[in-house]
Chains A and B, each alone.
Chain A
Amino acid sequence: MTQQTPGSGPPPPPGAGTFVPPPPPPPSGPSPGSAPIVLLRASRWYGNVVACNDVTFEVGSGITGLLGPNGAGKSTILGMIAGLLPPSAGSVTLLGEPAWQHPDVYRRIGLVPERESVPSWLSGQAFVRYSAQLQGIPDSDAAAQAAIRTVDLVDAANRRTATYSKGMRQRILLAAALVHDPPVLLLDEPFNGLDPRQRLHMMTLLRNLAAAGRTILFSSHILEEVERVADQVLVIYAGRLAASGDFRAIRRLMIDQPHTYTVHSSDDRRLAATLMAGEAVMAAELSDLGLQVRTVDLARFGRRLPALARESGISLYEVRPTDESLESVFAYLVRR
């Protein structure tokens, strides 16, 4: 997977906002256009609202996580890749051709949409068989049964999907997406609404499917989900590609960002002076909310704060991250 974001491009439409371009592309990687999924300066806007802005990346085999907060543009990107939406600018190709208005490409991809809208009057088996028939598979019954076995839903296959739990609906959608054995799988928030056991099962399933050589791209707004299942990650924030590459490198970037904590203690003023005398803290501010502390070395701060408080005879009542939302992490990555 490579990330290439040219510095200059067509002027964004009104409402695009101001963005700092993400870091330059890594020096090595596959040649442009050779990967199953390629976005080249793709943008998509709805009137004055920009959902995806000048995004360039490639996705190769294995599992890639499309990570970003809600509303970041993940579904728009997946929609463009799956041919559900045309890009307003740039190009999006799937297996070498644009999916938009090319229904033949659906022979080689499987899509699990975010909205788990399964025809309620059909049984799970009938729904997957219907998908197989629409794919033109000769023995649709056998293909449906195999796909249902893969997602471990054999016992409930003959029940109407109206009686399924959210997790079961996600799995039957995955079975329908897998029924024609596609080399590329696109999943929009596949872990949404799943309980921990179902989530674990889905993760194992995706890893097994990737081990068989498939290209899997899934979106999520939960960092831990992506961390546990994806080999590569694409971080999307405000419609832009904020970072991409190996998950460990992205994770390091996220950990290295300055962290702000609110501390309540028996003597905030003295604690502030003590902390500033050391090296773990780069700034401290007293306010009505308590003591605001800013650090770039999270590990050292975690070790030193209780020790310094103990040495100074100060009681710690509360240590709370002030700005630890995923959005702030993504915003930080975009600024870098």
Chain B
Amino acid sequence: MIGTIGRVTLQALLARRRALLMLLLAAVPVLIALLSRLRGSSGDAIGQTADALEPMAIGMLLPLTALVFGTAALGAEIEDGSAIHLLTKPIARWRIVTGKLIAAVPVVAVLIGASTLLTGVLIGGERGAMGVTLAFVAGVVVGSVLYVTLFVALSILSSRALIIGLIYVAVWEGTLAGLFEGTRVFSVRQYVISIVAQLDPSDRVRSATTLDWTTAVLGAVVVFVVAFGVAVWALRRYQIAAGD
């Protein structure tokens, strides 16, 4: 049942123009890295890789792609009215949410993971930066799960999920978490950076974050559990407005 929902959701996510647009967006850092490589590489490869991947992959591509696919996984069906076919079937709501996640999470993880890997390899793969690159890829996978779950829940709670999600990513994570240390404990981006720092064998990412590993893991687990629970709760209470 979960697999069926996941398969059809995957078809829906990939069949539309948004998939192509996100593919083009994911190709941007790869192209930048390629141009940089063609101009010749020198200097601190690990530092260059970390400096490129943290803002581009973790700061921009990952949350934006997760926002687009996460809100579309169920939100698009809610918006066009076809969610009624799913909601009027004898399926527990947690299975529906899980089915949506198993489709949207891999799409985001594969797309941004591949973009991160290629970008890292092109910048410093041959100059000892593979370790930090793989740490970022692992961070992208964890971040995909967290962001997508968060945005799937948001798409059930609000028809303006895309705008609210964008405000969260740009204002909360992009600006406030940078200005006020206290807000970092509520930032998925900071959890991901802390996890990358912990996995990075070169210890170059560690200095960029103030959130410790335990807090980050705990925060990530809480975000996932709460977002998943809220999504199931909201779907159970979801009302489909009548035509008249």
Contact = CB atoms under 8 A, between A and B. Distances in A.
A85 to B, nearest CB: 5
A103 B11 contact: no
Contact of B240 (A79, A130, A135): A79
Contacts of B12: 119, 121
Contacts of A185: none
Contacts of A131: 85, 89
B244 A111 contact: no
B100 to A, nearest CB: 14
A130 B12 CA distance: 13
A136 B244 contact: no
Interface in B78-130: 80-82, 84-93
B81 A113 contact: yes
Interface string A63-85: 00000001111111011001111
Specify which of A71, A101, A119, A121 lies most central, judged by the most chain B CB atoms within 10 Å of its CB.
A119
A73 B90 CA distance: 26
B244 A74 contact: yes
A74 to B, nearest CB: 6
A36 to B, nearest CB: 16
Given A51-B244, A79-B242, A135 B84 contact: no
Nearest to B3: A133
Contacts of A326: none
Contacts of A104: 90
A115 B239 CA distance: 15
A216 interface: no
Contact of B11 (A73, A86, A122): A122
Measured as residues with beta carbon below 8 angstroms from the partner, the interface class of chain A is: 35 or more
A118 interface: yes
A248 to B, nearest CB: 27
B212 to A, nearest CB: 42
Nearest to B86: A134
| B8, B89, B236, B242 interface centre (most CB from chain A within 10 Å) | B242
A118 B86 CA distance: 11
A134 B82 contact: no
B115 to A, nearest CB: 25
B243 interface: yes
B38 interface: no
B4 A85 contact: no
Nearest to A119: B82
A134 B90 CA distance: 7
A188 B88 contact: no
A38 interface: no
Contacts of A73: 242, 244
Contacts of B77: 119
Contacts of B88: 82-84, 106, 109, 111
B90 A176 contact: no
A217 B12 CA distance: 32
A134 to B, nearest CB: 4
A229 to B, nearest CB: 20
A85 B237 CA distance: 9
B8 A119 contact: yes
A188 B81 CA distance: 14
A114 interface: yes
B15 interface: yes
B1 interface: yes
Nearest to A101: B236
A54 interface: no
A268 interface: no
A117 B236 contact: no
A121 B240 CA distance: 23
B77 to A, nearest CB: 8
B73 to A, nearest CB: 13
A118 B82 contact: yes
Given A75-B243, A119-B12, A103 B81 contact: no
A134 B5 contact: yes
Given A111-B88, A176-B85, A103 B93 contact: yes
A189 interface: yes
Given A114-B243, A133-B4, A134-B1, 15 more contacts: A70-B244, A84-B87, A84-B88, A85-B240, A111-B88, A115-B81, A117-B81, A117-B82, A119-B82, A121-B16, A122-B8, A133-B1, A134-B4, A135-B89, A136-B1
7 contacts: A74-B244, A101-B236, A103-B93, A106-B89, A113-B81, A119-B82, A122-B8
Give me the 3 closest cross-chain CB pairs, A-B, nearest first: A117-B81, A75-B242, A75-B243
